[in-house]
Structure 1
């Protein structure tokens, strides 16, 4: 964070100082909520959770080097006490962002947010110091903590924004007002909470509504291939730039193809020129993500060649998202178990089919959460797609939703041993350990709550007797 005194912070957040001998002492380290992340000069944010109360760590974090706590009650050590810690954290982030000389890029969408954010960060880092959301910390706590990690040297701040209801993105955009806003897509993730795709579009479009006008440098980057996103152009005062495979897109891909290993390649066309891209990531769905990143980079002054080079060299920065491990025995494990929705599940299955040409393929799939009344139909459709893509074997893991996956595959024509329903992760591991053979490709994917990353990790460990290459 940019250096601020405890007195300045107290004024910004409307707090009272307690047990602070010298209010001029500055916070020079990171702002953290996890006591294990405290460094000398830190400000520790004491949240009261369901199981853990951050105030209980007060003495320990000060001993570890924290200058003070942001707390909701006095704790006997230096603290700035406020009525609402979360609101105070947001106010501090808003203050710091306004003082930064950085360009703030915000993005949202139903699928691909984290992968796209990672691509944007890697591309922009070629141009200037860049700070970006770690993992998927895209909510009302993670977003301000990321913003506060920016320093005086930061030139680009890339923030992922998630939403579980109307008004969420409006709130986040008010905390950290973006200059560039990117909307990737409107799908069915969390549709059970929103009530429909139109409501999801309403929520995602709050980002472009928050942008400054064209005259003030606002830019809305919209997916030309998604009608609900493209329609958001009417909801913003900002300049609109379109990306996609549509011929009307300002930044578009032509001659899209997959390499033999399932990595996308395409010709990148921008208003400043054309260049060829061959990505290190897996799956054709990353083309749209790459185009979104390219559109942002173009608006920030990068050439087509610079963008193409950066995209071709970019890797995955976040765990369990199409994380590919080649075992010494020739088995390939694709760990995409961080989360799942119908769009990302279909993309992962298509990537598996591309990677597995000439090889035996396995799809180890679990529940997609928060689909509401669409749950049965969407799980059935994913099971059917696995059959249509000629996936060698579907292993559906878990309870009712997994049984719908297996039933969809069965009804599509997957009989005999082509699909199977197992009760839990351990049963899936036991099955695969006994049946995998060299050359097989295994995709593991489900919603985060299912915890199927344990299956991928167990399979990696089962085949490691030497070094394992993770790409």
Structure 2
């Protein structure tokens, strides 16, 4: 972060006379006093603890100055009404000053994977930086901006939403040139009330896109009312502006062609939804003048953020398809479709462990039940259900599947069968089997994956 103290104070509209403090170069900005190093600017945010309580510690660790919402005795400080707002204002200024190209990605599913793909493709040609981990909210996005390397040419930002207006804020901070919406599904339905409201929230990415910018969005009619009138929009899907042909899925890879690349794209990951993510990433790369050959090569060497869909190996030799980071009905149906289409191992079976999908609101039971259409006795040999809202889906599966193929384990305020679930899976999984695990992160299926890998 190549900024000076007086410059920062001017940008955020400091309420104190900053000229009484020396105008020094600031190294970077941190909101965790434990991460402060010599030369940093401290940002005291209010959370479970008030960051102002740690200002003295930040200076002991080497901070040169701090933001503050009150007078700080004995140290350089920038007085503001709200530290978080000042942080966001500074990030927006820094993007404008650095003249970096911003590509913003949002969506109910696939945004992290698409962000990773875009960044990896662009890195073949440009100095590229991207959102690290899940830093995709009102704190994480400006943090990413203010920590990008000085030579960054392309900045790929992930934007998440929990409530209506979240994406609007992030887009107006980042002012992207290219905005991508991957998918509108039922994530966080509890806070939005309807899928239509989710679509409205996701489409607020257009609020910050510059006048000559480009929106890339799915061919989903639910977003049509929110499409900007005077902005270039590229739709993806069958018979749309960009689309997939000749898709071929294998256990640990897939390949496809598109209408804008001459050769087939090969990906060392599975899931036809990832073909869509890759197609969108490739189109962004093409818009930014990355060559076709660089696109093909980058995909062959693809590396994604961990905890997304990935094949692992159980200690007994069984294959694990882990997709335990998050879940909503659309995502669960997609991964079940992929898992069901993969051929069984010789002499092996297919098992699926499905856990509650959170934040679905009043429609939670019905949305869980809708997954029944993706559960077939012809392709799945054994089902384990874990949770509370998923109980009704388990009941439907019991009616649809042969006896002793469906098992339910409770997780409620009164009872938690997690240990029994873990033991049942370990007892039933054989070396030639394939097992899928899918559920919201809070259901802790990742712990079962880890147990399968070691026991």
Instruction: Say if 2:216 and 2:235, in contact at 8 Å, map to a contact too.
Output: yes
Corresponding position: 1:445 with 2:435: no
2: CA distance between counterparts of 1:262 and 1:126? 24
1: CA distance between counterparts of 2:19 and 2:427? 62
> CA, structure 1 residues 62+370, in 2 after alignment: closer, same or farther (shift >3 Å)?
same
Following superposition of structure 1 onto structure 2, how do residues 427-442 of structure 1 map, counting pairs within 5 Å? 427-442=420-435
> CA, structure 1 residues 254+16, in 2 after alignment: closer, same or farther (shift >3 Å)?
same
Instruction: Identify the match of residue 264 of structure 1 among 254, 273, 295.
Output: 254
- What's the counterpart of residue 413 of structure 2? none
Instruction: Say if 1:263 and 1:284, in contact at 8 Å, map to a contact too.
Output: no
- What's the counterpart of residue 239 of structure 1? 232
- What's the counterpart of residue 267 of structure 2? 279
Q: Which stretch has the larger CA shift, 335-344 or 350-359?
A: 350-359
Corresponding position: 1:382 with 2:371: yes
1: CA distance between counterparts of 2:396 and 2:276? 28
Instruction: Say if 1:262 and 1:355, in contact at 8 Å, map to a contact too.
Output: no
Q: Deviations over 1:244-290 (max 9, x none)?
A: 3x2332x332100102x2422111331xx412112112211101111
Following superposition of structure 1 onto structure 2, how do residues 389-428 of structure 1 map, counting pairs within 5 Å? 390-398=379-387, 400-422=388-410, 423-428=416-421
Instruction: Say if 2:315 and 2:454, in contact at 8 Å, map to a contact too.
Output: no
Instruction: Say if 1:345 and 1:382, in contact at 8 Å, map to a contact too.
Output: yes
SS of the residue aligned with 1:401? coil
- What's the counterpart of residue 360 of structure 2? 371
SS of the residue aligned with 2:359? coil
Following superposition of structure 1 onto structure 2, how do residues 65-464 of structure 1 map, counting pairs within 5 Å? 65-74=62-71, 77-213=75-211, 217-224=212-219, 226-229=220-223, 231=224, 234-244=227-237, 246-249=238-241, 251-259=242-250, 261-270=251-260, 273-317=261-305, 319-355=306-342, 357-358=344-345, 359-387=348-376, 390-398=379-387, 400-422=388-410, 423-462=416-455
Instruction: Identify the match of residue 41 of structure 1 among 31, 39, 42.
Output: 39
Tell me by how many angstroms 1:87 deviates. Answer: 0.7
Q: TM-score, normalised by structure 1?
A: 0.88
Tell me by how many angstroms 1:124 deviates. Answer: 0.9
Tell me by how many angstroms 1:74 deviates. Answer: 4.3
SS of the residue aligned with 2:263? strand
Q: Deviations over 1:178-225 (max 9, x none)?
A: 111111122221223222222222222222243223xxx31111223x
Q: Deviations over 1:338-384 (max 9, x none)?
A: 11111111122223224462332222221111212321112112245
2: CA distance between counterparts of 1:154 and 1:374? 44
> CA, structure 1 residues 79+361, in 2 after alignment: closer, same or farther (shift >3 Å)?
farther
Q: Deviations over 1:111-141 (max 9, x none)?
A: 1111111111111111111111122222111
> CA, structure 1 residues 45+351, in 2 after alignment: closer, same or farther (shift >3 Å)?
farther
> CA, structure 1 residues 125+389, in 2 after alignment: closer, same or farther (shift >3 Å)?
farther
> CA, structure 1 residues 88+388, in 2 after alignment: closer, same or farther (shift >3 Å)?
farther
Instruction: Say if 1:425 and 1:455, in contact at 8 Å, map to a contact too.
Output: no
> CA, structure 1 residues 432+78, in 2 after alignment: closer, same or farther (shift >3 Å)?
farther
2: CA distance between counterparts of 1:71 and 1:452? 41
> CA, structure 1 residues 54+334, in 2 after alignment: closer, same or farther (shift >3 Å)?
farther
Tell me by how many angstroms 1:171 deviates. Answer: 1.5
Q: Deviations over 1:395-429 (max 9, x none)?
A: 2122x213123123123335323333243432222
RMSD: 2.4
Q: TM-score, normalised by structure 2?
A: 0.90
- What's the counterpart of residue 26 of structure 1? 25
1: CA distance between counterparts of 2:358 and 2:176? 30
1: CA distance between counterparts of 2:443 and 2:139? 24
2: CA distance between counterparts of 1:424 and 1:36? 38
Tell me by how many angstroms 1:4 deviates. Answer: 0.9
1: CA distance between counterparts of 2:399 and 2:386? 18
Q: Deviations over 1:304-351 (max 9, x none)?
A: 33222222321222x311132224531223332111111111122223
SS of the residue aligned with 1:321? coil
